[in-house]
Structure 1
Amino acid sequence: MNVVDILLGGVPFGRNNVGDEAILECVVGIFREICPQGRITVSTDNPAETEARLGVQTVPLFGFKPPFSQQQMEDCITKADVFVWAGATGLSDYPEIPLGMLEIAHRVGTKTVVWGVGMNDKLNPYIYSILPGKRRALLSMLSWLTLKRIDFVARREKEAEDRARAKIAAELNRCDLVVLRDPETLAAVHACGDVPRAIVGADSAELLTPADWNGITLTREARQVLESNARKIGLCISAQRQLVHEKELIDFLDRLADRDYRIIFLPMNHSTDAPLMENLRERMRNHRHSAVVGGRRTPREILAIAGKLDLVISSRLHLLILASVLHVPIIGISRGSKVDNFLMPFGHTSAGSVDECNFDHMQSELDRLIDSREEFEEVSTAVHEMLLQRLDEAKQKLAGLLASC
């Protein structure tokens, strides 16, 4: 039987993002299940840890800064039988990078799979908006010279977005298999152009299983809090887009601590989220009733820790996903439509956004969910089974494609 060379990339793997690593671990498992004879190579910025944890081959992280070898990337894509854009929200967050990799694969005849990728309803403003600076000032001056009859800033931004959306539709239509994360992503893709063969799957992290609790190394303080009988609230705020109203958040956490709740700060990126979590905790009046789970954590460790909590509040999508896998009640803070999209099947709405958080809604949801764990478990079980069914249907399509390699 021929060995199938599978290259997984298009996502900044190896950059300390637990969500991306959870996706990667589960995608590797899916390909091993479907194609045991496959030789899996991962494009990652942390080759040693990725090889040791997942037993795969690795190549450098292609597409993302710092500079990488364009020739090496093209050679690796050419050598592969299948290139897989392996998840995350890259269709809106950084589409040019994986689309460029797909373009190379299509040019050299490598089969292409888009697997579990998501898309917000808006493209990344840091890429497609003209930020303050000389260029924006010049365009604004040109608009002023036309007495503002022409908005040159808006025109240039729309041109950039239109080009990006056209490229999304064009490259996805050239792929051998397109499996999107959710129905909302499918709608967002169709807003770019008709992609008739795209189907809806689910986030691969739904398949993750927890690590053995006794094998997890924790500080004495964190273990005591996590193993206590007190009600425990997990919290993660992404450092990528911090909460505007931090003082109101700290006041909210102090009110919970005064009610004898324990606050568990659970960073999903130890290098960026953890310092933010430490700062939030230090600013609490009642920080003795809290702990930060620090250090580099595997996805399976984070899942096991989430399972010890009574409720999770997060602006990080994948902490919400992992908590729901173990039927831990969740409250989302929107950081793009992906959080709102995930909450929808649960009948939940987010507690506002990182720019305008609704702490009254957060409190009422917490009070409702904390005393109705069984009801949430019933709903989350149904949602999880639905997502696994969508994944199974997508895996059947993938199996057919790999069989033809």
Structure 2
Amino acid sequence: MSNLRILLGGVPFGCNNIGDEAILAQVVNIVRESTPAANIIVSTGEQKTTAEWLDVETCPLHSSFSGNERDNTAFFDALDSADVFIWSGATGLSDYPNAALNCLSEAQNRGLKTIVFCTGMNDTFNPAHFKLNSGLKKSLFDIIKQTSGGKLDLTTRYECRKEQDVRTRLKEILDRCDLVINRDFPSKLELMKSNLSKQPIVAADPAIALPLVAPTAALWGDSMMEVLESGSKLIGVCISSQQKINQLDAFASWLDGLVDTYQAKIVFIPMNPITDFKLMSQIREAMFHRSQSIIASGSVKPSSVAGLASKMDVVISSRLHLLIFAAISSTPCIGIGRGSKVTNFLSEFGFCTAGDTDNIKFEYLEKEVRKILLEKDAYKEVADLVRESMLIRLEHGVAALKNCLTLA
């Protein structure tokens, strides 16, 4: 009997998102430990790099992600050769629901076992795909609403219909899956709004179990090591380029205040080494004390970035996975909201976000930084317990996955 062939797809992998690559690395490890003899194929935008890094076979992304219909030939060939298709990663079922469902449906039509593993759900679907914000149709609907005195709101009807259609499709396709696992309880509640026939299992984001690699000059350069060894308070920062902050100058000024008050050094940690790096550069350039800051540039391996985060006294981020990286080492973190995923994660610690990228609550930020620097040990006690709870949930999810793969 030939070895089981398992195709991994996700949100999309291989697109310069260090958080997504952390999930991928951990899912590959989990699958490998669950079924050591299996052949693993990864659908990714970086085939050569991923194959060398994780020692797996690779295929292109589905055209729903790549935009290139020609990629589907190789993707479908990989599906045809597989026995199991696993969809995993981040908030793919709300950010890119139709792309995820297209892949799962194609796998089901071929008779593959299909699994959704440790995905999250925001409390809204991706506005870029489910909100009518501009264009001829939007203009026409606005005119109709205005001429009807507000009684005929076709924009709202259109958006509600799109959401209902995707929820109907979520139920249809996920009900046919052999296993569905969410990464947290709020995601399960959001997914159940689609009236799934079976309750999903709740596990945790696989990245919470990521091993750490200690920073070295070879990974990050001599300048970074000087900062890490300076004895100063270190404030790790990442603002996602996917949703830029409206108060860039005010945020830069607030970071200057941390330098003045705590003699701190600001360590910008881009979670997208291209687009986040560009935004971090803009924030740094707006700082008066930019000489007391540095932008991490070097390794893009998740374990190395998590190791860097572990050296911070506090991490401030609108990127969920930098907060998760901080939690691995119980490093105190403060979230700036960007969708419900940051809120959901922090709620497990009993914390709130410091506003969102549209309206940062600077007073709350200041209060939390001061509290953390004064009571770091107390924070770590809470963080240790929360991470332990997440790891236990993840173990349950892994056990369910292993059982499902054993029966494949």
2-side partners of 1:27 and 1:61: how far apart? Answer: 17
Which amino acid is 2:66 matched to? Answer: K
Residue number in structure 2 paired with 1:350: 353
The alpha-carbon deviation at position 2 of structure 1 amounts to 4.1
Mark the CA change 1:195 to 1:325 in structure 2 (over 3 Å): closer, same or farther. Answer: farther
Deviation at 1:215, TM superposition (A): 6.7
Identical counterparts, % of pairs: 38
For structure 1, the residue ranges without an aligned partner over 5 or more in a row are: none
User: Which residue of the partner structure matches residue 142 of structure 2?
Assistant: 140
Query: Per the alignment, in what secondary structure is the counterpart of residue 64 of structure 1?
Result: helix
Corresponding residue SS for 2:220: coil
Residue in structure 1 matched with residue 185 of structure 2 by the alignment: 183
Matched ranges for 1:292-371 at <5 A: 292-371=295-374
For residue 176 of structure 1, what is the amino acid of its counterpart? D
Q: Residue 266 of structure 1 aligns to which amino acid in structure 2? A: I
SS of the residue corresponding to residue 244 of structure 2 reads coil
* Alpha-carbon distance between aligned partners in 2 of 1:330 and 1:144, rounded to the nearest angstrom: 46
Deviations 1:201-241 (A, max 9, x none): 11000110112433742233222112211110000000000
- What's the CA shift string for 1:57-87, capped at 9, x where partnerless? 1101223033143333233223211100021
1:1-400 alignment, distance < 5 Å: 2-62=2-62, 63-68=64-69, 69-214=71-216, 216-259=218-261, 260-400=263-403
User: 63-72 or 349-358: which moved more?
Assistant: 63-72
How far is 1:266 from its partner? 0.4
Q: Would you say the 8 A contact 2:141–2:154 is kept in 1?
A: yes
1:87–1:118 CA contact under 8 A, matched in 2 = yes
CA RMSD of aligned residues (A): 1.3
Amino acid corresponding to residue 22 of structure 2 in structure 1: A
CA distance in 1, matches of 2:287, 2:147: 51
Contact (CA 8 Å) 1:265, 1:290: kept in 2 or not?
yes
Partner deviation per Cα, 1:11-49 (whole Å, 9 max, x = no partner): 211111000000000000101111101101101111121
SS at match of 1:213: coil
How does the TM-score come out when normalised to structure 1?
Answer: 0.97
Q: Secondary structure at the match of 1:217?
A: helix
| Paired residue secondary structure (2:193) | helix
Please tell me whether the aligned partners of residues 16 and 296 of structure 1 are also in contact (alpha carbons under 8 angstroms): no
After TM superposition, give the deviation of residue 95 of structure 1 in Å. 0.6
Deviates more, 1:293-302 or 1:282-291: 293-302
Partner Cα separation in structure 2 for residue 74 and residue 383 of structure 1: 40
- Partner SS for 2:65: coil
Structure 2: give runs of 5+ residues left out of the alignment: none
Q: CA contact under 8 A between 1:227 and 1:308: conserved in structure 2?
A: no
Segment of structure 1 superposing worse, 287-296 or 247-256: 287-296
Conserved? CA contact 1:233–1:309, under 8 Å: yes
Report if the CA contact (8 A) 2:214-2:308 is conserved.
no
Q: Size of the alignment, in residue pairs?
A: 405
Task: Provide the secondary structure at the position in 1 that maps to 2:316.
Answer: strand
Distance in 1, matches of 2:299 and 2:380, equals: 29
How far off is 1:193 after superposition? 1.5
Mapped contact 1:173–1:197 kept (Cα < 8 A): no
- Secondary structure class of the residue paired with 2:346: helix
Q: Is the 8 A contact 1:21 1:299 kept in 2?
A: yes
Q: Distance in 1 between matches of 2:251 and 2:179?
A: 43
TM-score (norm 2): 0.96
